[in-house]
Amino acid sequence: MADLEKIEIYDTTLRDGAQAEGITFSVNDKLKIVRLLDDLGVDYIELGWPGANPKDNEIFQLIKTIELKNSQITAFGCTKKSDIPPNEDKVLEQLLLADTPIITIFGKTWDFHVKEALNTTLEENLNMIRESVSYLISKGKKVFFDAEHFFDGFKNNKEYALSAIKTAHEAGASRIILCDTNGGTLNNCIYSIVKEVKDFLPDAIIGVHVHNDSDLAVANSLSAVAAGAKQIQGTINGYGERCGNANLCSIIPNLQLKMEEKVIGDNIEKLCYVSRQIAEIANKKSSDYAPFIGRSAFAHKAGIHASGVAKSPETYEHISPEKIGNARRILVSDQAGTATVRKKLENLKLPITVEEKDVPKIVNKIKELEWQGFSFENADASFEITILKVLNQMPDYFSVLGFRVIDDTIAKTQMNMNAEASVKIKRNEEIIHTVSEGDGPVNALDMALRKALKEFYPIIDNFKLDDFKVRILDSKAGTGARTRVHVETTDGFNRWDTVGVSENVTEASYIALVDSILFGLLLNNVPALNEE
């Protein structure tokens, strides 16, 4: 069998990834993910285990209606039972009914598992592998053999583990996938064992499927490639049971950009987008600190770092973020210098004119606010509003004269307090006083602000709070501690972040909410009082 010219990417997000705690994909979710993976250019998409549940049965029927550009669909199952012929085995029957061109089956290669889990003989297990692979091939299927627990089996009984994969190979399996099912094998062992397998089966195409229980899944996958493996199995964002699977979002760029292997070509620019879209579908927050695709992966905070990146990105970045669809971010904090702020000013969303003489004033104001507890790392909207205020360029939309919030436990039960907020704002010479109820003081305050303003700025109805976080800044101060509130807002097209700080959590929320409304008006080019 000829060796491959590229490294194959086999995605098992929809099967192994779906076994992660807290992840459940609907049929519609699975179809969305298939389209994303196909657009990314992965070679194989493992759709599920036919017959395992009605959802998997439905998805194998629906997938026939979708035309894919880059990927092939595989079905997953196991070898036949020991006491029946393959044509009577229910698992193999369901695999054939799935009607995919490729079938991946796993079989035992660790003698301990054969005896303890299957309760059969070592010879009978080899027969199960042989007959299952041969039978599926006789039905016109291409078969990938997943050698379950191979690395543990190799270390325990090398001769038997090798005989298991040799049996599958001689039966006609197109790929022999070595699995570190328990995720406990170390990097050097992966390399040496894969290399020995390559020497043992020189004409076989070898792949690996590793888990992340030792936090080595990515490194182990790369070591396997260095030793001669040609297929890597994994999941987007490393989703999977226990500690997860090998993370394709790190494996793909390492292979293609660092090891210069052929993987997915120009489609790698879509990697960040696909990662975040699948995280959204899985209802999991994307890790800000994930290598390559994380929001903080190319974020620079310290003044020296930001200054270096401004001169030459290679000084503090191992690759260009644009190559995988990410973006560089310059964070503004109390460590910021003028270089940091200058770089940040290049990426403002609002059309703010800043002269060189203004930069020191902005830096000083940022450091003063950071000292008070403000954080602009994830609050770009508040940062831009702060600049406008420092430069006396802030448009006059309205001013808040004051607010009052009342909680009471009379109207509802003791566990569900009724909150009422009143807000007094000034617009031109007009005083507007509104009252609103809400599910808690912040919600009531938000509702009262909107009620007071929407007559003049109807677009406010489009502003929706996407996220709301409260952080205690000094826990030693107890209930009197200063709090920082972070608010994320969207208008359906744009998304922006604001921040407020106060010893009073309601006031901190008010500061963030007012900035959120002001920035939304600015971003949507709504005329202010002095522009009408």
Note the pLDDT of residue 414: 52
Q: What is the DSSP secondary-structure string of 382-448?
A: HHHHHHHHHTT------EEEEEEEEEESSSS-TTS-EEEEEEEEEETTEEEEEEEEESSHHHHHHHH
Is the residue at 286 inside a domain?
no
Is the residue at 289 inside a domain?
no
| Contacts of 266 by beta carbon, 8 Å cutoff, 6+ apart | none
The two tokens of residue 79 are 């070898």
358 & 413 share domain: no
Last residue of a domain, one of 356, 373, 390: 373
- Say if residues 495 and 489 touch (Cβ distance below 8 Å): yes
How would you label 258-273 residue by residue, b for 16+ Cβ within 10 Å and e otherwise?
A: eeebebbeebbebbbb
Q: How far apart are CA 274 and CA 70, in angstroms?
A: 15
> pLDDT digit string (tens) for 363-420?
888 777 877 777 776 678 888 888 888 888 888 898 889 888 887 765 555 555 678 8
Q: How far apart are CA 356 and CA 365, in angstroms?
A: 15
Is the residue at 134 inside a domain?
yes
Is the residue at 501 inside a domain?
yes
330 & 423 share domain: no
Is the residue at 167 inside a domain?
yes
Q: What is the DSSP secondary-structure string of 10-58?
A: EE-TTTTGGGSTT----HHHHHHHHHHHHHHT-SEEEEE-TTS-HHHHH
- Number of CB atoms found within 10 A of residue 435's CB: 15
270 & 303 share domain: no
311 & 176 share domain: no
- Provide mean pLDDT across the span 135-142: 98
207 & 263 share domain: yes
Q: Looking at the predicted structure, is the pLDDT value of residue 1 above 50? A: no
Mean pLDDT (the chain) is: 88
Last residue of a domain, one of 227, 251, 281: 281
24 & 153 share domain: yes
**What domain range is 207 assigned to?**
8-281
Q: How far apart are CA 110 and CA 102, in angstroms?
A: 25
66 & 182 share domain: yes
Number of domains in the chain: 3
Last residue of a domain, one of 281, 307, 339: 281
Say what percent of the chain tops pLDDT 70. 90
First-to-last C-alpha distance (Å) of the chain: 75
185 & 267 share domain: yes
- Say if residues 479 and 470 touch (Cβ distance below 8 Å): no
How would you label 29-39 residue by residue, b for 16+ Cβ within 10 Å and e otherwise?
A: bbbbbbebbbb
CATH code assigned at 417: 3.30.160.270
List C-alpha distances in Å: 326 to 88, 183, 283, 341, 492: 51, 29, 21, 21, 21
Is the residue at 309 inside a domain?
yes
- Provide mean pLDDT across the span 435-452: 88
368 & 410 share domain: no
Q: How far apart are CA 483 and CA 505, in angstroms?
A: 6
Helix (H, G, I), strand (E, B) or coil at 308: helix
**Sheet order of strands, 430-438 included:** 399-408, 418-427, 430-438
130 & 241 share domain: yes
CATH code assigned at 254: 3.20.20.70
Closest CA to 502 of 489, 513, 494, 490: 513
Q: Which long-range contacts (CB under 8 A, 24 or more apart) does 128-131 make?
A: 128/79, 128/80, 128/81, 128/82, 129/79, 129/164, 129/167, 129/168, 129/171, 130/167, 130/168, 130/170, 130/171, 131/80, 131/85, 131/86
221 & 76 share domain: yes
273 & 133 share domain: yes
What confidence tier does 343 reach under pLDDT thresholds 50, 70, 90? low
Is the residue at 1 inside a domain?
no
Lookup result for tokens 């205020």: 389
The two tokens of residue 522 are 């600015």
What confidence tier does 56 reach under pLDDT thresholds 50, 70, 90? confident
> pLDDT digit string (tens) for 237-276?
999 999 999 999 999 999 999 999 999 999 999 999 999 8
Q: How far apart are CA 81 and CA 92, in angstroms?
A: 10
CA 361 to chain centre: 38
Side chain identity, residue 41: G
Is the residue at 293 inside a domain?
no
